[in-house]
Each structure stands twice: as C-alpha cells, then as structure tokens.
C-alpha cells in the first residue's frame, strides 16, 4: 500500500491576539518528505531566530543526506530504522547550531525552541516523528484523534518519577514549563517514534498555541471535515484565535492520499490520551518557560531538566508546594 500513498501538506501561522511578535516557524519540504513546526522562546525576540534556525538546519541536514539515505537499507542490522535515526541526528544537529549561535551572539543569548518534525519514507511507508518540548503531533485515523507525542513538560516529568503524588501537589505546579528544548545545552534527548501511514490518515503538527486553548474534541471535528489541508490549517488557526489567541499559533496538516476502499469513515472521536493531555487550566498559562533558558520566577524555585532529575527536583517541588499553601 505504501507505494500508492502520497502526502499532501499545508501550513498556517498567526501571531494570535495577545503577542506582538510571531516566534513560531513551520516548514514544508515535499521534495524531502520533511515537515516541521517550531515554537521559539527567548529574550529580545530571539525566539523567532531559534525556531527559524531549527527549520533551516534540519532542512539542510535532510538535503545533504538524501544520497546517503538512498544508499542505505531502510533498516540496519539491528532492526532499527535508518529514517528514524536520520531524524534524530538532524534535530540534534539543529540543536548544536542553535547553541553555537546563542553562545557566540549577545543578541541571541538565551534563545531556544521546541520542535516537532515528521519525515516520510516512501520505501517503508513510515512516518518518523521527532520532537523536543511541547509542540505536538496528532493523528486522525478512521475518525479517531490520537496524540502521538508526549510533552516534555515539568508536570509529565514529575508524574514519571513520582506517580503517587497527590493531585493537590500537582495542581500547584506551573503548567507552562517545558523541560527539554533546542538551545538548552549541547546535547539534547530527542523523542522519536515511527508510524506506518495508511490512506486516509491525517496528521497535525502544532504548537501549544493551538493545543492549550482549544479542546481536542474541537480539533478532531475540524480535522475530520472533507476539506483540503490548506483549508483545515486555516480553520485551526481561526479556532485558536476564537478561543482568545493567547499565544502564537502554528499548524501543519498532512493528509495521506491514494485509492480508498470506499468504506464509510466514522465520525470524529478523541482518544482518552488526548483528553488527559490537556488540563482545564492550561489556557490561562499561554507563555512557554524553558528551564535553563527562561527564568522561572516562582519564589526563586530552582528545578532541574528531566535529564538531571534527582532528589533535588523532588525537594524543590516540595518547597514550592509548601510555599503555595
């Protein structure tokens, strides 16, 4: 089936109703099978430089490795996908480029960006999704919306380490802090997943300017409409602005086209995982705070990134909880 599949894509971006500058970037490179959304952050509007640099760096890397990719088998002798490894290497290269410019330029010091990228391999019919931060990828398949990424956020990191914590403690945590982003440090952990595409699939790459103020049921309803990707992307941006537009909003919509079986598609539904990924109070916290880049002024709370999580993180969280009582 993979040989019959083609990807159609369109993107849209808007500054929103609150922000003065748009620090988001999206990329569509059909020739490379590469699609990306990045949400920049940093002082003096350097976030837009970081997100644009992430897109350019990853695009350049994919362009420079086309021949190498064709010469290699789809899977190495360990059974690992070379396409997924290529995505991870490309995002890591983008991180190194951002760190280098941030260190060498006073104007751009402290800049960073989240990223979610998808790379399509026609040979295997796999879509390789890499992400760092809280920009997301959703898939609509058979009318069912599913979240394919997990935010690298303070809340998720705490839950991974201390799932027994009471909700009264968790509700005191800031909901807008990401613990992983490009530009934080020279080495970054990239989350990678590969998914076999199917004709009729729709994929959504988006910044939190959409996922925070707009409920997943509304996203699913738009994604299920019989409209081309460009129309869907534009409507999703309008939806975010209608919900208050608290942040820059950027989306890329992918549709897998080909010969359908004629089976009637069910109406849109939302995976429980998607619902759980959105907290009711997130819409009131539009700004992104990247630990290690943005200053987290919560009674001078100091927390560590997930890579260095330890008892110190739990001690700091306990201190925050006591101060918030």
Q: Where are the domains of the chain?
A: 2-295
Contact 274, 147 (CB under 8 A): yes
Instruction: Check pLDDT > 50 for residue 282.
Output: no
Both tokens of 97, joined, read: 């480029």
Domain 2-295, CATH among 3.60.40.10, 3.30.2290.10, 3.30.2010.10, 3.90.700.10:
3.60.40.10
What digits encode the pLDDT tens for the residues 207-235?
999 999 999 999 999 999 999 999 999 99
> Average of pLDDT values for 50-74?
93
Q: How far is CA 323 from CA 169, 187, 245, 316, in A?
A: 11, 33, 31, 11
Which of the pair, 6 or 4, is modelled with greater confidence?
Answer: 6
Residue 285 CA, chain-centre distance (Å), reads: 17
Cα 325 to Cα 321: distance, rounded to the nearest angstrom: 6
Q: How confident is the model at residue 165 (pLDDT cuts 50, 70, 90)?
A: confident
Quote the mean pLDDT of the chain: 83
Contact 180, 132 (CB under 8 A): yes
Residue 9 bridge partners (DSSP): 254
Both tokens of 289, joined, read: 């705070």
Cα 13 to Cα 113: distance, rounded to the nearest angstrom: 16
> Average of pLDDT values for 150-165?
86
Contact 219, 207 (CB under 8 A): no
């Amino acid at each position: 089936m993979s040989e019959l599949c083609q990807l159609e894509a369109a993107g849209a971006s808007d500054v929103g109703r609150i922000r003065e500058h748009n620090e988001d970037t999206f990329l569509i490179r059909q020739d490379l099978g590469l699609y990306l959304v990045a949400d920049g952050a940093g002082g003096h509007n350097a976030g837009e430089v970081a997100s644009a640099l992430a897109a350019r760096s990853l695009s350049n890397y994919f362009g420079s490795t086309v021949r190498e990719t064709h010469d290699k088998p789809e899977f190495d002798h360990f059974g690992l996908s070379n396409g997924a490894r290529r995505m991870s290497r490309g995002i890591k290269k983008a991180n190194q480029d951002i760190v280098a410019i941030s260190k060498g330029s006073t104007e751009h010091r402290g800049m960073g960006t989240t990223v979610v990228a998808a790379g399509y391999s026609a040979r295997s019919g796999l879509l390789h999704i890499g992400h760092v931060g809280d920009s997301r990828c959703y898939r609509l398949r058979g009318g069912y919306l599913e979240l394919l990424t997990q935010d690298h956020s303070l809340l998720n990191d705490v839950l991974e380490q201390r799932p027994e914590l009471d909700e009264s403690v968790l509700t005191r945590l800031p909901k807008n802090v990401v613990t992983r982003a490009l530009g934080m440090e020279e080495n970054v952990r990239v989350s990678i997943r590969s998914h076999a595409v199917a004709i009729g699939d729709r994929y959504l790459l988006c910044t939190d300017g959409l996922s925070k103020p707009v409920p997943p049921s509304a996203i699913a309803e738009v994604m299920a409409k019989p409209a081309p990707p460009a129309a869907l992307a534009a409507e999703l941006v309008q939806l975010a602005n209608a919900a208050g537009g608290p942040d820059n909003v950027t989306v890329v919509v992918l549709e897998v086209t080909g010969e359908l079986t004629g089976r009637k598609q069910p109406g849109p539904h939302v995976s429980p995982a998607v619902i759980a990924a959105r907290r009711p109070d997130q819409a009131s916290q539009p700004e992104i705070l990247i630990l290690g880049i943005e200053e987290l002024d919560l009674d001078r709370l100091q927390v560590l990134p997930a890579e260095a999580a330890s008892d110190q993180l739990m001690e700091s969280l306990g201190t925050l909880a006591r101060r918030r009582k």
